[in-house]
Amino acid sequence: MFIRKLILCGLIFSYLAACNSSDRIIISSVQKSDKSVTSLRATYSKLDSIFMLLVKKHDFNGSLLVAKNQKILYQKYFGYSVFEKKDSLNAASLFQLASISKPITALAIIKLKLSGKLSYSDNIKKYIPTFPYDNITINDLLNHRSGLPNYIKMEYQTDLYDKMCNQNLLQYFIDYQPALNFEPNTDFQYSNTNYALLISLIEIISSQKIETFLEENIFASARMHYTFLYKTSSLLNTQGYYSKWKEAPKNQFDIVYGDKAVYSNISDLYHLDSALYQNSFIGAEEIINIFTTTSFKEYKFGWFVLNIENYGKILYHTGHWSGYNGLFLRDINNCNTIIMLCNVTNDNIYDYVVDILNIIENNRLKTSIKFY
């Protein structure tokens, strides 16, 4: 980890040196005389107006990126990474992804499936014989159809609560067997427990620690050079705040992985978005299988799914944890991407998504979007 951080510091320095103007349009592939430059600048100006409104009206503090066809249209940073030090946010600023970590966990499961180490239909008992619930499959965990209660909202009668990690959480469910909210695969209910338990499965099946598995199978191949799992606050360069500027305290669930605890930035999420369009990363056949042939409508493999008539399919995930919140949206039929990461909780960011998409898509989106 120490060597990785030294390399990371070098990458950050190089990146910052290259990005001496974070709000410039990236037009490296076209000539200045090309008419497309004028169009790009007009789009940038319209997007900037939207985001400046968000900043002025709602005190937005965070990072923003908008891309189309895997080309960045807009990238900018507003506010402070650590208010008390008056440090400004920049390209190297890292954010707690909160539940935006779930697509990454799902990708780890997909990688194991593609390597022949599991099937989505496998019963959890196949890998954890002491697991006390019958008929819960990996598919059920991936798509929030297990019926397992949300560990964050449960009442605990054990000292495990104060030292919670994935191993202890699994042991708690084995020892205390809290009741299911419904029979597996009969309903949908969003529960962080599902993705926390997926981490235990990944470690058991791969025989690797989750941070090693993610680094080797996701982060490295997707060029997510800044991204890591939370271990200690010494690795962080931003502070999360509830309102302005009430510092968010550390939480006893901070090192429960899978449902949250990944730290990253807008550049790395953009690299992940680009990798997902490349067959070499996951494979077109697997993507089609997951997002076209599976029957679940609300949520699939780490993404909320919106099927918008006369527009297309939108995949997204929001995240809220310890003063951070954000949105990672992939408008896959139109190849649009919106990434917004805040370190001062601000739910107003979701109100501007339709406006952003309509700037890019010439007002084709005729409906509002309600985000989970």
Domain total in the chain: 1
Flag whether pLDDT at 26 surpasses 70. no
Longest dimension (CA), the chain: 69
**Are 352 and 46 contacting, i.e. CB atoms less than 8 angstroms apart?**
no
Answer for the pair 100, 326: CB distance below 8 angstroms, yes or no.
yes
| 370 in a structural domain | no
CATH of residue 238's domain is: 3.40.710.10
CA distances to 280, 303, 314, 344 from 79, in Å:
37, 29, 29, 10
Hey, what are 243's tokens? 């309102």
pLDDT of residue 35: 67
Render pLDDT for 102-155 as a digit per residue (tens, 0 to 9).
Answer: 999 999 999 999 999 999 999 999 999 999 999 999 999 999 999 999 999 998
Q: Is residue 368 part of a domain?
A: no
Mean pLDDT of the chain: 90
Range of the structural domain that residue 243 is part of: 2-360
Amino acid at 116: G
- Angle of helix 166-176 relative to helix 192-206, nearest 10 degrees? 110
The answer to whether residue 58 sits within a structural domain is yes
Q: Is residue 189 part of a domain?
A: yes
* Residues 285-299, mean pLDDT to the nearest whole number: 81
pLDDT at 159: 77
Amino acid type, 197: L
Give the pLDDT mean for 58-65. 97
Q: Is residue 367 part of a domain?
A: no
Residue 365: inside a domain: no
306 with 369: CB under 8 angstroms? yes
Show the tokens assigned to 79. Answer: 């506010």
Q: Which of 247, 262, 267, 264 is nearest to 323 (CA)?
A: 247
Instruction: Report pLDDT for 319.
Output: 98
- Give pLDDT tens digits for 191-247: 999 999 999 999 999 999 999 999 999 999 999 999 999 987 778 999 999 988 999
For residue 263, tell me if it sits in a domain.
yes
Q: Residue 12 pLDDT more than 60?
A: no
Note the pTM of the prediction, 2 decimals: 0.91
**Would you say residue 29 lies in a domain?**
yes
